[in-house]
């Protein structure tokens, strides 16, 4: 008699949340505060004289500011002139970029791509090309919508106004129209209208993002708040002493940093990609080694500035007879139980080291029972964490003997198989009617007869 262990592996692919760098501008103090990988902890600040509205360029973190004054144009009358200036990532002045002259007052500015800044103005917006040094003014054509801020996120432009409710819509830059987002509530504060000047988004995927918002209540105290659609309930709120006596003078910009653990290397990590595979082990092979678990998968890790603090590996739902192993002496790890191991960064550990730790994960089996359980991996960087990525492992023991029907599972990528390997030692000399060799890459599944 020969025993086979059938292991089915299913991969779930997740993305990260709360990986970001928030630029929080306080124009009363001519200062931009930086909150990195946190909700409320200020990690740094940048001083810029005459700070009003600003936008941060995502690729190099350079800061572009906008300050406006009223000018008189002959034949036109009073207009607003916005001067856009360019600073480096630490606030050192580089150059004046362009002067934008339009009729309405302008409220806020943001990058919609690496070359274009969008500036909100009464009942419309202005598109500024910082490379060509040109601009175009547009009016929202399908309703009287007074935009306060516009965010471009994953190819979608979200626009927000202050009329009646602080409602968020989608802006079509080609048709110059706005459209409602089904099932989304207004971005209100505790069931009441809030006075907010700027919003942005943290996260990486449309289904997981959170809006960060500055607002005042009773025009007295100002807060930084975090809301999740579609109901926009407050999930976190920050109060800072320097925000006392808030006067609509706070501005936000956010850089989203990736924190990705992706087992199928699709790079479309916002989609849940399930993958399946089957691995066969013979009786006595009680260690499911890394080359068996991972031979068909290519784990992908991405994190801003190559800084992961730790990674947890946990068996969920498995019996005590299954023991988690890590065959890697080059990375610091600590076992907390037979089902839990944490891998740590010693200050020199790289993304490649964490990836290798995944590849070196093993299981030890000490009985022949059938089990279905989960191996969960999760990354931690600063105070944030990725969503977990899991292997779902189904272990089935099946006795294989000559003289009865037997089911054997192969993967399409497996190599050439000799079916005689699955005969029990007691089987008499015979023959396979279709031949003894089976090629999973080319042959079809079916019934193979041994006489």
pLDDT band at 409 (very low <50, low <70, confident <90, very high): low
pLDDT of residue 274: 42
pLDDT of residue 130: 96
What is the rounded average pLDDT of the residues 260-271?
A: 64
pLDDT band at 62 (very low <50, low <70, confident <90, very high): very high
What is the rounded average pLDDT of the residues 290-297?
A: 64
pLDDT tens digits, 88-111:
999 999 999 999 999 888 989 999
261 beta partners: 14, 301
pLDDT of residue 398: 55
Instruction: For residue 229, report the phi and psi dihedrals to the nearest 5 degrees.
Output: -70, 160
- Give the residue, 167 or 403, on which the prediction is more confident: 167
Cα distances (Å, whole numbers) of residue 211 to 124, 163, 269, 390? 22, 19, 20, 28
- Give the residue, 256 or 140, on which the prediction is more confident: 140
pLDDT of residue 67: 94
Q: Which of 281-290, 323-332, 375-384, 435-444 has the highest mean pLDDT?
A: 323-332
User: Cβ-count burial of 270 within 10 angstroms (0-12 exposed, 13-18 middle, 19+ buried)?
Assistant: middle
**How many whole angstroms separate alpha carbon 180 and alpha carbon 168?**
7
Contacts of 304 (CB under 8 A, 6+ apart): 19, 257, 258, 259, 381
**How many whole angstroms separate alpha carbon 65 and alpha carbon 82?**
10
**How many whole angstroms separate alpha carbon 280 and alpha carbon 277?**
10
pLDDT tens digits, 331-342:
999 999 999 999
What is the rounded average pLDDT of the residues 40-53?
A: 90
Mean confidence (pLDDT) of the chain:
78
pLDDT of residue 343: 95
Q: Under the phi-then-psi rule, with left for phi > 0, alpha for psi from -120 to 50, and beta for the rest, what region is 12?
A: beta
pLDDT of residue 150: 92
What is the rounded average pLDDT of the residues 203-224?
A: 70
Residue pair 22/61 in contact (Cβ under 8 Å)? The answer is no
pLDDT band at 2 (very low <50, low <70, confident <90, very high): very low
pTM: 0.67
Closest alpha carbon to 181 in 230, 226, 145? 230
pLDDT band at 69 (very low <50, low <70, confident <90, very high): very high
Percentage of the chain surpassing pLDDT 70?
72
**How many whole angstroms separate alpha carbon 65 and alpha carbon 93?**
10
Residue pair 443/437 in contact (Cβ under 8 Å)? The answer is no
What is the 3-state secondary structure of 94-156? Answer: EEEEEEEEECCCEEEEEEEECCEEEEEECCEEEEEECCCCEEEEEECCCCCCCEEEEEEECCE
pLDDT of residue 365: 76
Is 426's pLDDT higher than 50? yes
Query: What structural domains and CATH numbers belong to the chain?
Result: 2-14+261-397 (no CATH), 20-257 (2.120.10.30)
Supply the DSSP string of 308-345, one letter for each residue.
--EEEEEEES--TTEEEEE--SSSEEEEEETTEEEEE-
pLDDT of residue 422: 73
What is the rounded average pLDDT of the residues 33-62?
A: 88
The distance from CA 375 to its chain's CA centroid, rounded to whole angstroms, is 21
Is 221's pLDDT higher than 70? no
Is 13's pLDDT higher than 80? no
């Amino acid at each position: 008699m020969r025993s086979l262990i059938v292991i089915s592996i299913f991969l779930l692919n997740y993305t990260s949340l709360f990986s970001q760098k928030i630029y929080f501008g306080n124009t009363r103090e001519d200062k931009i505060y930086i909150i990195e990988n946190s909700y409320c902890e200020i990690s740094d600040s940048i001083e810029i004289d005459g700070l009003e509205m600003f936008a941060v360029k995502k690729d190099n973190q350079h800061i572009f500011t906008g300050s406006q004054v009223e000018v008189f144009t002959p034949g036109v009358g009073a207009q607003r002139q916005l001067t856009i200036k360019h600073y480096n990532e630490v606030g050192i002045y580089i150059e004046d970029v362009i002067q934008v002259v339009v009729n309405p007052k302008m409220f806020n500015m943001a990058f919609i791509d690496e070359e274009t800044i969008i500036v909100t103005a009464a009942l419309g917006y202005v598109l500024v090309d910082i490379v060509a040094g040109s601009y175009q003014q547009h009016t929202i054509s399908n309703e009287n919508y007074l935009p306060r801020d516009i965010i471009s996120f994953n190819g979608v432009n979200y626009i927000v106004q202050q009329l009646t409710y602080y409602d968020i819509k989608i802006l079509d830059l080609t048709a110059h129209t706005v459209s409602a987002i089904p099932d989304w509530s207004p971005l209100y504060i505790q069931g009441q209208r809030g006075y907010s000047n700027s919003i942005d988004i943290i996260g990486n995927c449309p289904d997981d993002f959170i809006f960060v918002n500055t607002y005042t209540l009773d025009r007295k105290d100002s807060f930084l708040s975090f809301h999740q659609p579609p109901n926009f309930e407050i999930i976190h709120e920050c109060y800072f002493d320097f925000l006392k006596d808030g006067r609509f003078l706070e501005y936000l910009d956010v850089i989203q940093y990736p924190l990705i653990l992706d087992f199928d290397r699709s790079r479309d990590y916002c989609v849940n990609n399930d993958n399946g595979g089957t691995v066969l082990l013979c009786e006595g092979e009680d260690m499911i080694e890394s080359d068996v678990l991972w031979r068909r998968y290519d784990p992908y890790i991405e994190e801003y500035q190559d800084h992961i603090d730790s990674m947890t590996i946990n068996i969920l739902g498995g019996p005590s007879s299954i023991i988690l192993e890590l065959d890697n002496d080059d990375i610091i790890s600590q076992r907390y139980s037979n089902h839990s191991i944490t891998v740590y960064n010693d200050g020199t550990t790289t993304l490649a080291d964490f990836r290798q730790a995944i590849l070196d994960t093993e299981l030890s089996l000490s009985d022949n029972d059938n089990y279905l359980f989960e191996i969960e991996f999760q990354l931690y960087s600063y105070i944030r964490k990725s969503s977990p990525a899991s292997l779902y492992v189904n272990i089935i023991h099946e006795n294989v003997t000559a003289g009865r029907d037997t089911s054997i599972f192969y993967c399409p990528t497996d190599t050439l198989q000799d079916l005689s390997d699955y005969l029990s030692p007691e089987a008499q000399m015979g023959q396979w009617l279709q031949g003894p060799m089976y090629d999973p890459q080319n042959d079809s599944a079916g019934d193979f007869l041994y006489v």
